[in-house]
């Protein structure tokens, strides 16, 4: 292996929910350092390029090809960044990069790899509404591109029965217009109709839209691929406030039901 192949560097950077104020200092440092940027075009569009920096945009379903191209360029001695919205380790590019390294040529394993965390969508939405994640919770992707939909429904039901707050990424798309409705249907067989459901889109951005409803009234048609949905547990509650929106929170303490 040549020395040149070990000099490259790949930083996988989470740029948060989209607000410049929520970009971490580490992420800013890495964005300034990199010369080449790979990522889904809408995420790259959020960057302000400096002289000498180059974008390599690609479609949302090209993760492994994107990761491979970034690794190969880094292996030639370049400073490369892989950009993810939110956190790169949550249904994003860090796993794709690791998978590419696992299955790729040996010289990719010699590269310096840095993963820079970011604020992921569920944390941003939760912060805007109170503390719905105050007790145990899980995060699930409803996309069946990489796993069967029957597995998704099984996991949703198991987590709801276990008393966890549920957070859904990738809830619906033009190719999957019915699946969110099916997920709500199985949840209605498990949870009370008054269970709180939070829809959050573009948290902390100028086009932010966050609203709360009940499981009984939750409408899948109001969501899109970029919506993060939080379904409360039986314990999640709303605190009404005069002149302000309700605070939604899940109590930190869980009292075991008497037998």
Residue 75: count other Cβ atoms within 10 Å of its Cβ: 23
User: Two tokens at 186?
Assistant: 């199985």
pTM over cut 0.85? yes
Q: Alpha carbon of 177 to those of 102, 212, 222: distances in Å?
A: 34, 21, 11
Chain centroid, CA 207 distance in Å: 18
Q: Alpha carbon of 135 to those of 26, 42, 197: distances in Å?
A: 29, 33, 16
Question: How is the chain split into domains, by residue range?
Answer: 4-119, 122-249
Angle of the 149-161 helix axis to the 179-188 helix axis, nearest 10: 30
Q: Alpha carbon of 108 to those of 30, 39, 70: distances in Å?
A: 20, 19, 10
Per-residue pLDDT of the chain (259 residues; tens, 9 = 90+): 344 445 789 999 999 998 999 999 999 999 999 999 999 999 999 998 899 999 999 988 899 999 999 999 999 999 999 999 999 999 999 999 999 999 999 999 999 999 999 999 999 999 999 999 999 999 999 999 999 999 999 999 999 999 999 999 999 999 999 999 999 999 999 999 999 999 999 999 999 999 999 999 999 999 999 999 999 999 999 999 999 999 999 999 987 764 4
Cα–Cα–Cα angle for 50, 52, 53, rounded to 5 degrees: 65
Annotation: CATH topology of 122-249: 3.30.950
CB-CB contact of 142 with 169 (8 Å): yes
Say if domain 4-119 classifies as CATH 3.40.1010.10: yes
């Amino acid at each position: 292996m040549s020395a040149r192949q070990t000099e490259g560097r790949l930083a996988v950077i989470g740029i948060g929910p989209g607000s410049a104020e929520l970009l971490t200092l580490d992420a800013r440092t890495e964005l300034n350092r990199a010369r080449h940027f790979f990522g889904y075009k809408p995420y790259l569009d959020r960057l302000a390029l400096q002289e000498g920096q180059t974008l390599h945009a690609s479609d949302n379903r090209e993760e492994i090809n994107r990761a491979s191209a970034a690794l190969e360029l880094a292996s030639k001695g370049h400073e490369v960044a892989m950009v993810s919205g939110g956190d790169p380790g949550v249904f994003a590019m860090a796993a794709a990069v690791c998978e590419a390294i696992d299955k790729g040529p040996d010289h990719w394993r010699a590269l310096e790899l840095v993963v820079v965390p970011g604020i992921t969508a569920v944390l941003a939405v939760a912060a805007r509404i109170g503390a719905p994640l105050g007790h145990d919770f899980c995060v699930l992707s409803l996309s069946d591109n990489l796993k069967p939909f029957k597995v998704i429904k099984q996991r949703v039901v198991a987590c709801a029965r276990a008393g966890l707050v549920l957070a859904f990424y990738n809830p619906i798309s033009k190719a999957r217009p019915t699946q969110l409705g099916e997920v709500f249907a199985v949840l209605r067989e498990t949870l009370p109709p008054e269970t709180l459901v939070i829809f959050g889109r573009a948290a902390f951005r100028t086009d932010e839209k966050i609203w709360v409803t009940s499981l009984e009234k939750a409408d899948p048609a109001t969501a899109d691929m970029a919506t993060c949905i939080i379904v409360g547990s039986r314990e999640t509650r709303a605190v009404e406030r005069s002149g302000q929106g309700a605070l939604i929170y899940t109590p930190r303490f869980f009292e075991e039901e008497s037998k």
